[in-house]
Amino acid sequence: MPIRTRSDALFAAALEHIPGGVNSPVRAFRGVGGDPFFVESAQGARITDVDGNTFIDYVGTWGPAILGHAHPKIVAAVQAAAVRGTSFGIPNPAEVAMAWRVKEFVPSVQKVRFCNSGTEATMSAIRLARGFTRRDKIIKFDGCYHGHADSLLVKAGSGALTLGCPDSAGVPADLARHTLVLPYNDADAVTAAFAAHGPGIAALIVEGVPANAGLYLPKPGYYELLTHLCRDAGTVFIFDEVMTGFRLAKGGAQELYGLTPDLSCFGKIIGGGLPVGAFGGRADIMDHLAPLGPVYQAGTLSGNPLAMAAGLAALDELAAGPVAAEATRRTGNDASGNPPPHLGGYYDYLDALGRQLGAGMVDAAKAAGVTVTWQRLGSMFCGYFTEGPVWNLSDAMRSDRTKFAKFFHGMLAEGIYLAPSQFEAGFISTAHTPDDIDATVRAAAKVLRTI
Ligand SMILES: *Cc1c(COP(=O)(O)O)cnc(C)c1O
């Protein structure tokens, strides 16, 4: 086991001053047992703790680090912006450049507003949809996490799942009753909900790909059905791409699935590692926002020049793509059976690494005699310790979490950092190499034999 004297001392101190010792619950390792390590620095695909242990990192700060940690172009952009001033509270040019970039990547976005987190983006999009339709009810799906706003903390995933408290205390029942929660991938359930409540439903919100209860994918035709039901009922279709945006393709999951949502929400990658969220879509809806319209939404630090500089550098780099992605030539069987998307640039490289990891993990599990259902899309993945297929939250809940916890700690001891919860997706970055993936598969082959 790695030495962790300093991490343990810091965590003991943190517990005295910060609830649970953390500023976001999943970081506390409650889903796997044990205590978190404290990070000294991170570079590329690696993260180094305060005791000097270095890990190959598949958390990538929960998604944002698609270009790896401390990417030189992002660091330079932040440094250059910082000396010009860290916040103005009045428009700065980077906001316009960012808006232009987002619209270029995501054609369904006609107008966009920037905020400071994914939570703010989804919360604001819901308010906007309610103000636009003058309706109260919203539909969300079991296991989909959309941040921690009150209306959306009903049967949510992510930390809310790991901690076994899908509903939060402090959310008024009067508010929660406006949120209809449906099982994901169930065409009959959503058709029936629209039949019963259609004219009262302001918005339907769904993740680009549900990635806060592990990772599972929409059945063919399911998102088309959601689109049609929303259109017929005059319901605003909100696509939460906080995780999938700029991750699965430049245009996110909506590009992969050929969708045109009314509103989309962004976060994580869009800030290049700084706090940025955004929501955007149809101009006629977006123009209901203050100061043009009656829906209030604001932020002292929204469009912050430092955060915009980091986000813009990240999106610019994703737009430019790699000079040479030699590893795209590596092939293997795709464990999930997805057709390889031809996305170009970094996305082909990420997909190739995802494929390599999936094939290796499936072989390693088979050799060790452990049942693992490996789910993957592009550079996102999750291994469930149960028979497949996994199509929704109740399938995901069948996973053997004791086995996952053993796997997690075994991998950590081998220098591989996976998300400390069964119900989180893993992420590959452009800084990972085929050799990193090979090392990860070798470690897994060893660890799986001990489970
Ligand atoms: C992370 C996440 C959010 C919340 O974003 P924060 O920046 O953590 O507030 C919302 N929706 C999805 C799909 C997410 O993965």
Statement to judge: residues 302 and 353 lie in one domain: no
- 245 lies in the same domain as 352: no
- pLDDT of res. 267: 98
Q: Residues 181, 256: one domain?
A: yes
Q: Answer yes or no: are the C-beta atoms of 437 and 360 closer than 8 Å.
A: yes
- Distance between CA 235 and CA 233 in Å, rounded? 5
Question: Residue 337: pLDDT band by 50, 70, 90 thresholds?
Answer: very low
366 alpha carbon to ligand 1 midpoint, in Å? 34
pLDDT at 327 over 90: no
Q: Taking residues 261-277, what's their average pLDDT?
A: 98
142 catalytic, yes or no? Answer: no
Query: How many domains does one find in the chain?
Result: 2
Q: Pick 339 or 110 by higher pLDDT.
A: 110
Residue 293: domain span:
72-317
Domain-located, residue 328 = no
Query: Which of 49, 57, 142, 240 does the annotation list as catalytic?
Result: 240
Clarify whether residues 159 and 16 are in a common domain.
Answer: no
Q: What is the pLDDT of residues 112-137, one digit of tens each?
A: 999 999 999 999 999 999 999 999 99
Catalytic residue among 268, 348, 395, 406: 268
- Specify whether 268 is catalytic: yes
The Å distance, Cα 147 to ligand 1 centre, comes to: 5
Mean pLDDT for the stretch of residues 130-147: 96
H-state helical runs in 71-172: 72-82, 93-105, 118-133, 159-162
Atom index in ligand 1 nearest the CA of residue 122 equals 10
Residue nearest to atom 5 of ligand 1 (CA): 118
Residue 415 pLDDT? 98
Quick one: average pLDDT of 141-162?
A: 82
> For residue 343, what pLDDT is reported?
60
Per-residue pLDDT reduced to its tens digit, 198-249: 999 999 999 999 999 999 999 999 999 999 999 999 999 999 999 999 999 9
The pLDDT, as a whole number, for residue 159 is 66
Question: Which residues fall within 8 angstroms of residue 279, CB to CB, at 6 or more apart?
Answer: 112, 113, 115, 121, 122, 124, 125, 128, 263, 264, 265, 266
Decide if 329 is inside a domain: no
Let me know whether 40 and 86 are in one domain: no
Look-up of token digits 């069948």: 398
Residue among 161, 242, 423 whose CB has most ligand 1 atoms within 8 A, to mutate:
242
Collapsing DSSP to helix, strand or coil, 153 comes out as coil
Residue 326 inside a domain? The answer is: no
Verify whether residue 400 is a known catalytic residue: no
Q: What is the CATH number of the domain that holds 9?
A: 3.90.1150.10
State in Å: Cα 82 to ligand 1 middle.
Answer: 26
Do both 292 and 441 map to the same domain? no
Domain of 76, CATH number, reads 3.40.640.10
Instruction: Give the per-residue pLDDT at 71.
Output: 98
**What pLDDT was estimated at residue 297?**
98
Distance 363 CA to ligand 1 centre (A): 32
Per-residue pLDDT at 275: 98
Domain match, 161 and 171 both: yes
Per-residue model confidence as pLDDT tens digits over 21-47: 999 999 999 999 999 999 999 999 999
Pick the last residue of a domain from 317, 348, 379.
Answer: 317
- Give the DSSP H/E element, type plus range, for residue 193: helix 187-197
**Residue 24 alpha carbon, nearest atom of ligand 1:** 8
Predicted local distance difference test score (pLDDT) of residue 153: 85
Q: What is the mean pLDDT of residues 308-315?
A: 98
Residues with C-beta less than 6 Å from any ligand 1 atom: 117-119, 122, 145-147, 207, 212, 240, 242-243, 267, 277
State the pLDDT at residue 162.
53
User: Percent of the chain, pLDDT > 70?
Assistant: 92
Instruction: Give the Cα separation of 300 and 54 in Å (integer).
Output: 37
Strand (E) or helix (H) holding 48 = strand 46-49
Q: Read off the pLDDT of residues 289-306 as tens digits, 9 standing for 90 and up.
A: 999 999 999 999 999 999
Catalytic residue among 145, 223, 257, 347, which?
A: 145
Say how many Å lie between the CA of residue 154 and the centre of ligand 1.
Answer: 14
Closest ligand 1 atom to residue 117 Cα is: 7
* Mean pLDDT value of segment 320-349: 56
pLDDT for residue 158? 67
**Which pLDDT score, from 0 to 100, does residue 336 have?**
43
Is pLDDT at 59 greater than 70 in this prediction? Answer: yes
Asked whether residue 45 falls in the same domain as residue 120, the answer is: no
Question: Same structural domain for residues 149 and 217?
Answer: yes
Whether 81 and 164 share a structural domain: yes
Specify the residue with its C-alpha closest to ligand 1, atom 15.
Answer: 243
Check residue 330 and give its pLDDT: 42
Mean pLDDT of the chain: 93
Which pLDDT belongs to residue 339? 36
Residue finishing a domain among 286, 317, 348: 317
Same domain, 67 and 108: no
Compute the distance from residue 104 Cα to the ligand 1 centre, in Å: 22
Residue 332 located in a structural domain: no
Band of pLDDT at residue 331, cut at 50, 70 and 90:
very low
161 pLDDT more than 80: no
